[in-house]
Amino acid sequence: MGGFSRDDAAQLLAERRYQAIVDILEATVTKSEGKWTYTDILDHVFLHRWLGIPIFLALLWGVFQFTFSLSEPFMVMIELLFGWLGGLAEDGISNLHLASFVAGGIFDGLGSVLVFVPPIFMLFLALSILEDSGYLSRAAFVMDRLMSKLGLHGRSFIPMMMGFGCTIPAIMATRSIDGEKDRMITILVAPLISCGARLPVYVLIAGAIFGASYAGTVIFSIYLLGIALAIAMALIFRRTLFKGEPSPFLLELPAYSMPTARTVILHMWDRGKWFLVRAGTIIFGTVLIVWFFSAHPWEATSGGELIENSYIASLGHFLEPIFRPFGWDWMAAVALLFGFLAKEVVVGTYGILLGVDEASLGESFVSLGLFTPLTGFAFMVFVLIYVPCVATIGIVAKEMNSYRWAGFLVAYLVALAFVVSGLIIGVGRLLGFS
């Protein structure tokens, strides 16, 4: 039994179990010869050795085009609603301090986050359709060959796909991975898969700078970059910290089925409601903190009009030299700092600092020259990579049973964010982009 590992035993047991199933089916089930089933035809295409990955990427691109295009009318309606509410507050409340709190703190700040409820729910709607149809399991099977060569376990694909919604359940889902090294690698790279909390930042900046025609493609490229970075870092970890081969991957493919409206909507709601919960708790509380420090000291800021005299501006100018080489100002520094608590707060922070409603936020980016296409894209990449929210760091410490690993995660992600965003800026400027 020398050299016979636990993983070898598990694989052998699984193989014998499936062989027993095959023997029973052959003895009891009569199949028509020469007839292809509906599943056979689809699998011949979706599981094709050369077409499988391009089809997966094309479907992923379609998901983000669908998300941005279908959600835009609903976003406009929410923008108009909160703009109207903010105007009512400013006109109807005589106390300037209270009017600033209600209009600037609540409606401008929280409203600039809630406007992204439609694209987040549309993203989950599209992913639920793919999952309920049986395709996502095929995508995991197709990606296994590539992922195993690059150091990731095939079963890591499922948590990574869950990461498109939220990183926390994605990390918890790694419990299904048998090998401890495979599980550790998956946890360390899972935050590079862009979660739904980052989507509002992408939608805002991509929509403002690249326009509706190209926003979906730009957002798709950000998500694709996250997947590429996750695979690259998994390869690095596999060859340094967690040497060895990935454990065997066995996956049973479900039959294809037509998704029903009821189950798709239930799945969409189950995954999307966390955003509404966060918007009413962590995001709302953080936005109010941002408003307070942007409107005070009250006499020096004249009720938030002279934001350069505020506490938050002082903090931003202190941090600005770190980000100035990237072409970002002190507002970007403050937004990234508060984004550590929740990524949606990046958008809410900008709404408060610029003192505009949701409809004018993107226009302000362009009119004030806060971002160019190059610096805006680099900023989105930075948001993609740098530290996940504080709740994610907590769950990493719990799942890995170590605060040291959680600290390592934060350190390597921050360093990677600066390196990748810096390369984008540097290469872009060499190519003549500003």
DSSP 37-73: -HHHHHHHHHT-TTTHHHHHHHHHHHHHHHHHHHHHH
Instruction: Give, in order, the Cα–Cα distances in Å from 209 to each of 216, 382, 394.
Output: 12, 17, 34
Mean pLDDT across 43-60: 83
Cβ pair 199, 116 in contact under 8 A: yes
More confident residue, 157 or 209: 209
Range of weakest confidence among 81-85, 191-195, 216-220, 280-284: 280-284
Is residue 360 classed as helix, strand or coil in its secondary structure? helix
Q: What is the pLDDT of residue 416?
A: 96
Give 300's pLDDT tier (boundaries 50, 70, 90): low
Biggest distance spanned by C-alpha atoms of the chain: 86
More confident residue, 301 or 378: 378
Instruction: Give, in order, the Cα–Cα distances in Å from 45 to each of 40, 50, 138, 146.
Output: 9, 10, 11, 18
pLDDT, the chain, mean: 80
Mean pLDDT across 344-349: 82
In a domain, 18, yes or no: no
Cα 299 to Cα 305: distance, rounded to the nearest angstrom: 10
Cα 150 to Cα 154: distance, rounded to the nearest angstrom: 11
In a domain, 42, yes or no: no
Q: What is the pLDDT of residue 385?
A: 95
More confident residue, 145 or 331: 331
Give 33's pLDDT tier (boundaries 50, 70, 90): low
Is residue 222 classed as helix, strand or coil in its secondary structure? helix
In a domain, 5, yes or no: no
Is residue 253 classed as helix, strand or coil in its secondary structure? coil
In a domain, 327, yes or no: yes
Q: Which domain holds residue 367?
A: 50-245+281-430
Q: Which residue has the tokens 């179990």?
A: 17
In a domain, 138, yes or no: yes
Q: What is the pLDDT of residue 415?
A: 96
Cβ pair 267, 131 in contact under 8 A: yes
Alpha-carbon 417 to chain mean position: 15
Cβ pair 125, 268 in contact under 8 A: yes
| Predicted structure pTM score | 0.75
Range of weakest confidence among 195-204, 239-248, 261-270, 334-343: 239-248
> What count of other Cβ atoms lies within 10 Å of the Cβ of residue 40?
9
**What pLDDT digit, counting tens, does each position of 386-426 carry?**
988 877 888 888 888 888 999 999 999 999 999 999 999 99
Cα 325 to Cα 428: distance, rounded to the nearest angstrom: 13
pLDDT at 249 over 80: no
**What pLDDT digit, counting tens, does each position of 252-264 carry?**
677 788 888 899 8
Cβ pair 100, 310 in contact under 8 A: no
Q: What is the pLDDT of residue 367?
A: 79
Q: What is the pLDDT of residue 1?
A: 46
Q: What is the pLDDT of residue 229?
A: 93
Assess whether the previous peptide bond of 321 is cis (omega < 30° from 0): no
- Amino acid identity of residue 280, one-letter, is G
Q: What is the pLDDT of residue 154?
A: 61
**What pLDDT digit, counting tens, does each position of 120-149 carry?**
788 888 888 888 888 877 877 777 667 666
pLDDT at 114 over 80: no
Mean pLDDT across 373-380: 94
**What pLDDT digit, counting tens, does each position of 4-21 carry?**
555 456 556 656 776 777
Cα 281 to Cα 113: distance, rounded to the nearest angstrom: 12
Cβ pair 185, 170 in contact under 8 A: no
Instruction: Give, in order, the Cα–Cα distances in Å from 311 to each of 21, 314, 316, 431.
Output: 68, 5, 9, 39
**Highest mean pLDDT pick, 36-50, 143-157, 204-218, 275-289:** 204-218
In a domain, 232, yes or no: yes
Q: What is the pLDDT of residue 422?
A: 95
Mean pLDDT across 327-345: 88
In a domain, 413, yes or no: yes
Cβ pair 128, 267 in contact under 8 A: yes
- Please enumerate, as own/partner, the contacts of 272-275 that have beta carbons within 8 Å and a separation of 24 or more: 272/117, 272/120, 272/121, 272/124, 272/196, 274/166, 275/117, 275/120, 275/196, 275/197, 275/344
In a domain, 30, yes or no: no
Q: How many structural domains comprise the chain?
A: 1
